[in-house]
Amino acid sequence: MNNVQKFALLYLLGLVVFLYGYAAARFKLFPHDVFEPRIKEFQEFAAGDGLEKDSTIIDKLKNDAGFSPLRFTYGVPAGLYDWHEPLPLPGLRSRRDPPHVFISKDHPSGYRVIAGAMDFEEAFWGALLISPEGEIVHTWKLTTEHLPGNKEGDLLKILYGMHVGPDASITFLMQESGGGIVKVDACSKEVWNLPGVYHHTVSSNGKGAFWSFEGSQYTLDQDMVMVSEETGEILQTIDMTEVREANKYLHIWDLTMPVIGNQKRRYQIGNLTHGNDIDPLREDVAASFPQFEVGDLLISYATTNMVFVLDPDTLEVKWWRIGLGDYQHDPDWESDGRITIFSNERRREENKSRIIYVDPKTYEAGDVFNGEVNGFRSPANGMQQRTVYGSRMITSANQGWAFEVDATGETVFSFLNTYSQSDLSTLFLADSYHFPPDYFDGKPWENCAGAP
């Protein structure tokens, strides 16, 4: 066989392989069913999720093998470290630097809690308590690796959704493969766990219960549950198919209707509504919202840029707004009668994240704080809290940065969850809070083993 014949044979074989490969993909012939799931798994692994935009395949492999938490590292604006100081934090792994903090001499008093990827020797996820004097006085180690429904190590989960009680307990969940909702006491000892799949939020109603989403965060219908803070018992379930039926002439879900019933299309798109917060109207601010009732739920659907208010008893949608924010998180009822929202500005990469407001009576809207001022931008996740002092805690999750600004916009507190100061890299932060000095019932953490 001469070279021309060899080349012709190879060309013919290649053509046959190509044509069969096309036919296998087009008509699902063997080995389509064998390789397609593996290919999709690799594509999903390589892409990561919305939090892992900058991590490479090698980074993900290192993370999943437990060598480095590179799925959870981010960058911060240049210059931030110039006005922060290292904050000693015992118990960290040697692979990370200590966090950095700035506290203004005029900062409001009280306790601050910072939670996220702490990379402790004992647990990857955790929270720390900063005293009114600016010192770390306690830490919580948070994990779901021990739970029956757990499927993955903690470096393959995201801590997002928690509540800190006056007894210094923490109720939290791990998204992805966390295995349920967990409550721990002040000493990080488990009080109870609720098996199942939950995501994004643990929102207290101020009456001994909290709300969370149940089921996959990627489906159209984001079912919700109310859970007892004391026992972990589910007290109420809201099925979103029933909500849609109860409001059948309200067409705010129509942006996703073309994929309902089309399972292939739903699989391709995913993330159809992405419920990410449920904020019950509490008695202490209800007087500022006379058009609503105590217990009404303020809900965020990020994919469709929608926030709406739902009566959990009648299932009536009382109010809604689409397009105020971009992929928004954490809408809150405020004591002045306005609703504030963490607008991620995810779909416009040139935009900085914002905290915005809307008056539900007049629909007037505007900025409370714009990241153009200081470079804050979190394309996904993020939290915000208006404190009793009138200041605002902002958690830029994708920058590993929590900061507090006063009513004039001046920074009075700032925390960088440093991973490597030389690389300007930080670790993911889930949430931050500023509580008044009398929020906690004494100092229960002082009774924990090993406490100073």
Q: Tell me, what amino acid is at 254?
A: D
pLDDT for 18 equals: 55
Return the CA Rg of the chain.
24
Q: What's the token pair of residue 406?
A: 């006063």
pLDDT digits (tens, 9 = 90+) for 335-364: 999 999 999 999 998 999 999 999 999 999
d(CA 149, CA 145): 9
pLDDT of residue 13: 72
Q: What is the pLDDT of residue 71?
A: 84
d(CA 296, CA 260): 27
Architecture of domain 76-447: 6 Propeller (2.120)
Domain parsing of the chain, residue ranges: 3-36, 76-447
**Which parts of the chain have pLDDT scores under 50?**
34-35, 38-39, 41-46, 265-268
Phi first, then psi: what are they for 258, rounded to 5°?
A: -60, -20
For the stretch 197-238, pLDDT in tens is 999 999 999 999 999 999 999 888 899 999 999 999 999 999
pLDDT digits (tens, 9 = 90+) for 101-160: 999 988 878 999 999 999 999 999 999 999 988 899 999 999 998 887 787 888 889 999
Distance CA 28, CA 34 (A): 10
Sheet containing strand 100-103, strands side by side: 85-86, 100-103, 411-416, 401-405, 392-396, 383-386
pLDDT at 38: 47
Alpha-carbon span 361 to 338, nearest angstrom: 9
Handedness of CA 107, 112, 117, 123 (dihedral sign): positive
351 class by beta-carbon count within 10 Å (0-12 exposed, 13-18 middle, 19+ buried): middle
Helix (H) or strand (E) holding 269: helix 263-269
Distance CA(17)–CA(31), nearest Å, equals 12
Angle at the Cα of 402 from the Cα atoms of 398 and 408, rounded to 5 degrees: 120
Could you tell me whether strands 223-228 and 125-130 are parallel, antiparallel, or unpaired per DSSP bridges? unpaired
- Per residue, what are the HEC states of 238-254? ECHHHHHHHCCCCCCCH
Which residues in 302-437 belong to E strands, given as ranges? 306-310, 317-322, 329-333, 339-343, 354-358, 365-370, 383-386, 392-396, 401-405, 411-416, 418-420, 425-427, 429-435
Q: Which SS3 state, helix, strand or coil, does residue 33 take?
A: helix
One-letter amino acid identity for 382? Answer: G
pTM, two decimals, is 0.86
For residue 355, which of 345, 333, 365, 370 has the smallest C-alpha distance?
A: 370
| Packed helices 32-47 and 57-64: angle between N→C axes, nearest 10 degrees | 90
Instruction: Report the pLDDT value the prediction gives residue 41, as an integer from 0 to 100.
Output: 44
pLDDT of res. 238: 98
Please, what is the end-to-end C-alpha distance for the chain in angstroms? 85
